[in-house]
Amino acid sequence: MGAGVQYQMKDFDLVGNVGYGLLHGVLSVDAAASYTVTNFTINKVRIDVTGGVGGYLGVPFTTDGDLAVSVIVPVGLKYSMPNKDVPLDFYLRVSPGLQVLPELDFVWGANLAVLWRFN
């Protein structure tokens, strides 16, 4: 469970997420620049395909956990509601990455979220 925000720039979006993993007891924070690579339409609904690069920080709330730092490459699908009064985006994202702390390793993450769109 968590919360996310998005700030739209001219050519890309800045996306940030904060969440708590109930399974492993880890506070997760990530931020990424997300670019629309292409899009497609299903029943007149535009879906953006996004890709980007960012960072991840995992802070354990257990005594046996280690601080985790990773470079992530998020890839996802995004639907933006056209209503300007309720600027919401829905997205599904997978984030392969390279963990650099506590040891070098390949990692995966995933998000299913609703974001409030700023700007």
- Which segments of the chain are extended strands (E)? 2-8, 13-21, 26-42, 45-60, 68-72, 75-80, 88-94, 97-101, 105-107, 110-118
pLDDT by residue (tens digit) across 6-44? 888 888 889 888 888 777 788 999 999 999 999 999 998
Query: Which amino acid, residue 12?
Result: F
Domain count, the chain: 1
Range of the domain at 56: 2-118
pTM here? 0.81
Tokens at 85, concatenated: 């009064």
Does residue 92 surpass a pLDDT of 80?
yes
